[in-house]
Each structure stands twice: as C-alpha cells, then as structure tokens.
C-alpha cells in the first residue's frame, strides 16, 4: 500500500506538523509505504525530524496559499499511490493533491486540523467563505473520508451539512524514550503553560491566578510559560507581570528537543486555559512526561478526570484559581500517581503505534480490503 500525503513538517508549523509527522511515522512502522510532499523550508526554520525525508515542490511565488506550478509533475514523479491524504484545509497545494487523486480516480482523505470549529471559521470569515465556495467544500465533499480528532470536531463538521464518512482518530504522541522513565522529583510547585502564545489561549488568566493565589501558594511557586507566537500579546503578558509585581512568572520562549523535555519534566502541573482547541497536543505531551493537566472545557479532554490524571474545568478565573490550589493541596505523591495514570492513558490510546494502526485500518477499509472500523461514522 502506497500513500502520498500533503502538508508541512517544519518545526515552526507547531502541533499540526508534529501530528502529521507522527502519523506518517506510525504508518511506516506498520509497513505502509508513505511519502509526503511539502513546500521548501524557510531560512531559520528546520525539518521536524530528519527521518521524515519529504519530497519538496517548488515554492509558489505568492506563499503557501497560492497555486503550485507543476505540482502534478511532482506527484507523478513519486509514483502511483493507492490513496492520498491531505493534511489540513485552506492550502491550495492540498486541494491540488485532492484534484490529482480525483483525476486519477483514486480515493483521498482530508484531516480537518480544527479548522471547521465555529471559532476558527469566524476568524477571517469572509475570506474563508470565499475559499469554501471556490474550492474547499468541493474538496471535502469528494473525500472518501474526513479525519476529525474528536467527536466534537465531527459534530461541528456535520453541522455544516457535510455527509461523507468521518474517522475520529486523535493525534498521536511520541512515547519512545519518555514514557518508561521515572517521573522526576519536583523541588518546587511549578505551574506550566506550553504552546503558542496567542490571545485565544487566555494565558493571562494563569498570570492573574499567580497574583490571586500569592498568599496561598508557597513562596517558591512559579509559573513557566513555554512558547512563542504573537509578539503584541506576549508584550501584553510581560506588562501584566510587571503591573502585578510578580517575580515568579518566567517566560522560556520557544523550546525544542531536550530543552523542551527538561522544561516539561520540571512542571508539577500543566494548565491549558484556551477558549477552544480541537485536540490539544500539549495535553498529550504533558501526560507522556507524567505531568497532570488542567484543561478547559473548550477542549475535548473529558478523559482527564475519568482516568484521574487531570481536571476538565471551565476557563473562568475562579475555576482556574481553585483548581490550581486544589492541585497544590494534593501534594507531590498524589500528583505523581496522577502522572502515572496519564502515562497509562497515553500508552493505550495515543501512542504512535496505536494510532498508526488506526490510520492503516482506515485506509484498508477505504480500499475495500478490510471491514469498517468502529471509529468511522457514516
């Protein structure tokens, strides 16, 4: 079985790039011949993993939203594929891959990447309405299946009138070299945020929590903000820290590799106060490190309290404050037990191996060589 993907595998593309790469890695480990076609990497960026070995097409003159000249020639040079997989929406190179598949009467899958949530569609609404009319809805309607990362994402997609099969397959997380390590001791109570720095992430509520709880948390308690992104919003966060006279809020910036792993290992808990996320790779990243997670109900993480590895709460200020305080009051040993529970959840449901198997099963069903998996909804 040969599959060709379109997408991005550069580090600065963040969670979507990581999920795309780990999906491909899982498929390759299951014996599926898998390639990915992507634009050249910009100076100052880098490939997410040298093992990815992507095929680069010529960069369009007007950026990643533009039509790619001679794209079909690039795809043809790779060889025949049994199925094509478009990782994400809006980008014209993804639509070009779908059209190539249709032209050659081959099936294709589209991964939504959270882009059809109401909140996402509301951003640049007019532009997205035009893009949907011009090409995006046609690409989706003709897909053999669409991948959503959770039931909620599927429901948003269905509410727009799309009727093709939906496979609910969450994003995988790399566990190798991490999940079997002992959970390190935590010399201080450290709260963490990990991810893109953007206004919809509501990171300021963690800063306000540190101010509100300064008399209730120990003197060495700390908030560590890991990530970069929106410069204006990051300046706002720094200004708020100064205004509130907080010395225990640290900005680590954008981290990768061992530096990122060490920063996550140092956390007592991770808090994700976002208004919404379609999945939240940062949750699985924390859990694989044995760090319990406080996630907002704007995320599909009802599993956290069910498996006693975290909390699923409203992202209003009082709820965040009280839950952080409750986590501190549990003590290090109980937090460590929650961390072990989180690792077991990841091992069973979110590993590269487990989700590589699911994606392979989806492809086999589409190609008519296996029965419909239970995670596919017609």
216-264 pLDDT, tens digit per residue, is 999 999 999 999 888 999 999 999 999 999 999 999 999 888 899 999 9
- 2-172+351-377 and 190-349 agree in CATH topology: yes
Instruction: Identify the three-state secondary structure at position 264.
Output: helix
- CB burial of 85-99 (b: ≥16 within 10 Å; e: otherwise) equals bbbbbbbbbbbbbbb
Q: Tell if the pTM clears 0.85, that is, is over it.
A: no
pLDDT at 65: 58
Could you read off the pLDDT of 273-332 as tens digits, one per residue?
998 887 788 999 999 999 999 999 988 899 999 999 999 999 899 999 999 999 999 999
Give the residue extent of every domain in the chain.
2-172+351-377, 190-349
pLDDT band, residue 66 (cuts 50/70/90) = low
pLDDT band, residue 16 (cuts 50/70/90) = confident
pLDDT band, residue 69 (cuts 50/70/90) = confident
Could you read off the pLDDT of 130-185 as tens digits, one per residue?
999 999 999 999 999 999 999 999 999 999 999 999 999 999 988 887 788 899 99
Q: Helices (DSSP H) in 89-136: which residue ranges?
A: 92-103, 118-122, 125-131
DSSP 8-state assignment for residue 351: B
Q: Cα(344)–Cα(183) distance, rounded to whole angstroms?
A: 13
The DSSP result for 148-208, as a single string, is ESSHHHHHHHHHTT--S-EEE-PPPB--TTTTTSPPPP-SS-EEEEES-B-GGG-THHHHH
pLDDT at 197: 93
Domain topology for 190-349: Rossmann fold (3.40.50)
Residue indicated by tokens 């498929």: 27
Class level of CATH domain 2-172+351-377: alpha beta
Tell me which range, 43-47, 118-122, 124-128, is most confidently predicted by mean pLDDT.
Answer: 124-128
Tokens of 210: 């540190």
Residue indicated by tokens 């001679």: 70
């Amino acid at each position: 079985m040969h599959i060709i993907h379109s997408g991005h595998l550069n580090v600065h593309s963040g969670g979507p790039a990581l999920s795309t790469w780990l999906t491909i890695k899982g498929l390759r480990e299951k014996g599926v011949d898998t390639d990915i076609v992507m634009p050249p990497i910009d100076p100052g960026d880098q490939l997410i993993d040298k093992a990815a070995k992507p095929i680069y097409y010529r960069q369009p003159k007007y950026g990643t939203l533009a039509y790619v000249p001679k794209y079909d020639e690039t795809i043809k040079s790779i060889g025949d594929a049994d199925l094509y997989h478009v990782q994400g929406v809006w980008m014209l190179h993804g639509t070009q891959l779908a059209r190539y598949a249709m032209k050659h009467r081959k099936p294709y899958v589209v991964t939504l990447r959270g882009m059809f949530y109401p909140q996402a569609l509301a951003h640049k609404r007019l532009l997205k309405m035009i893009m949907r009319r011009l090409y995006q809805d046609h690409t989706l309607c003709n897909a053999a299946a669409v991948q959503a990362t959770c039931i909620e994402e599927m429901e948003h997609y269905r509410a727009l009138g799309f009727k093709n099969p939906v496979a609910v397959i969450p994003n995988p997380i790399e566990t190798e070299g991490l999940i079997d390590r002992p959970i390190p001791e935590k010399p201080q109570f450290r709260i963490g945020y990990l991810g893109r720095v953007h206004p919809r992430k509501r990171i300021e509520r963690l800063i306000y929590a540190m101010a509100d709880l300064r008399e209730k948390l120990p003197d060495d308690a700390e908030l560590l903000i890991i990530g970069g992104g929106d410069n204006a919003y990051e300046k706002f966060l720094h200004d708020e820290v100064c205004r509130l006279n907080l010395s225990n809020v640290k900005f680590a910036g954008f981290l990768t590799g061992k530096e990122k792993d060490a920063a996550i290992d140092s956390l007592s808990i991770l808090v994700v106060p976002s208004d919404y996320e379609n999945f939240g790779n940062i949750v699985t990243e924390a859990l694989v490190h044995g760090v319990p997670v406080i996630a907002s109900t704007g995320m599909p993480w009802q599993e956290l309290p069910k498996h006693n590895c975290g909390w699923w709460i409203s992202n209003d200020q009082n709820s965040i404050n009280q839950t952080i305080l409750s986590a501190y009051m549990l003590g290090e040993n109980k937090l460590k037990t929650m961390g072990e529970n989180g690792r077991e959840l990841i091992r069973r449901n979110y590993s590269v191996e487990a989700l590589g198997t699911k994606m392979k099963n989806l492809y086999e069903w589409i190609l008519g060589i296996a029965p419909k998996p239970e995670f596919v909804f017609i």
